[in-house]
Amino acid sequence: MTATPILSPRMSGIKASPASVLRRRARELRAAGRDIIELSSGNLDFPTPDHVIAAAHAAALRSETRYTDVDGTPELKRAVQAALLRDHRLDYRLDEIVITNGSTQALFNALLATLAPGDEVIVPAPYWAPYLDQVRLAGGTPVVVPCAQNNGFKLRAEDLQAAISPRTRWVVVNNPVNPSGALYSREDLSEIVTVLLRHPDIWVLADGVYEHIVFGGAPAPTLADIEPRLKPRTLTVSGLAKSYAMMGWRIGYAAGPSALISAMIAIQSETTSGASSISQAAAVAALDGAQDVLLARAAILRARRDRFVELVNECAGLSCTPPEGTFYLLAGCAGVIGKRTADGKVIASDRDFATYLLEKADLAVFPGEDLGLSPYVRISFANPSSIIEEAGMRLKRACEALQ
């Protein structure tokens, strides 16, 4: 007999996302021997750079295997401090920086530390889905603001203004944006600044986890740098996962006013006790070491992007424009909605389309419904060119087979 746990009311709005159902199905199919091409995950196919792995190994051999300071090792905090200065001209003291288990934990700790029931957090859509559940878990209410394709999927100042209420505590500004790949320029962000300066009680959650995965050279701009008057109410969040292909090492960080950072450290002290000592040593090597890997990898991703955009645009019913950052394409799939599969099923939504691609074309993509924008699918191009060619061929055949 299995007992049913009594869940906290805070779990009431939280359920396994439908995308995770698709992910499970992809795993099952793979386990059954199907050659599923993974285009739905947030993983990069690049290895973590060798010198970073060597640093982790050396740290383990030096017995850096004990708990570290809850807020991170002094070495990594100094490396983050230097990286923020180098990449964004942002000058933070060490007591304004915390190291976390991935940027996911930095975001969550900030929300948990600040939200009261009824407090609102503005999340531009399309979005990285965990923002919504993080806000709910922390007791707040997400307020989703759609960003139109004809504005490059970027938040318009007037839409931000219209979404603000007396309960607004935070605005999430992710740059570049997962899943659209939109990149806010300094000018774009200045428009958001103008609105925020009119609302001195609203804080900014600036998520730059893809800041180095951009195709124009310089790292994506961030709000605390663009407008110093916002810095005292901005939490600048980033991590090593995407920039240095260190997804599994789980190192993120946040920089902001020390009172907020202290509250986040207090939460971290009671929950994880801090990030892994070995991963922190690796992260120091990544941040302090040669940075040419960032541009070299962005150039590879750019070539893959260009090819995959071409392939997607050859598919009947799909269209996409080249993203300026991240490693995702957001493909509009309005042209396949309403069509029928060979076995007579109607594709009524982007989730149906993603399910069809998984079951019949061995392609795992992410449905836009779970990203706050339909009908779209998010397709990763973090795959070697040969896989991209094969994926493009399967996609084309699958679209042609729809009637």
Nearer to ligand PLP, 207 or 362 (CB): 207
C-alpha separations of 110 from 157, 172, 173, 336 in Å: 24, 12, 14, 40
Cβ-closest position to ligand PLP: 102
In angstroms, give the least distance from the CB of 213 to ligand PLP: 10
Which residues here bind ligand PLP, judged by CB under 6 A? 42, 102-104, 128, 174, 178, 207, 209, 239, 241, 247, 252
Nearer to ligand PLP, 208 or 392 (CB): 208
Cβ neighbours of 309 (radius 10 Å): 19
Nearer to ligand PLP, 70 or 220 (CB): 220
In angstroms, give the least distance from the CB of 395 to ligand PLP: 23
Q: What's the rounded Cα separation, in Å, for the pair 166 and 267?
A: 26
The tokens describing 370, both together, are: 């779970």
In angstroms, give the least distance from the CB of 399 to ligand PLP: 27
In angstroms, give the least distance from the CB of 105 to ligand PLP: 7
Nearer to ligand PLP, 214 or 399 (CB): 214
**122, 163 contact by CB (below 8 A):** yes
In angstroms, give the least distance from the CB of 61 to ligand PLP: 26
**402, 63 contact by CB (below 8 A):** no
Nearer to ligand PLP, 174 or 277 (CB): 174
The tokens describing 167, both together, are: 């309960």
Between the two ends of the chain, the Cα-to-Cα distance in Å is 48
In angstroms, give the least distance from the CB of 42 to ligand PLP: 4
Nearer to ligand PLP, 26 or 245 (CB): 245
Nearer to ligand PLP, 104 or 280 (CB): 104
In angstroms, give the least distance from the CB of 192 to ligand PLP: 17
Q: What's the rounded Cα separation, in Å, for the pair 309 and 42?
A: 18
CA 195 to chain centre: 24
Q: Is the peptide bond before 18 cis (omega within 30 degrees of 0)?
A: no
The tokens describing 385, both together, are: 């060119």
The answer for residues whose C-beta is within 8 angstroms of residue 67's C-beta and 6 or more apart is 273, 274, 277
Query: Would you say the C-alpha torsion 85, 101, 140, 349 has a positive or negative sign?
Result: positive
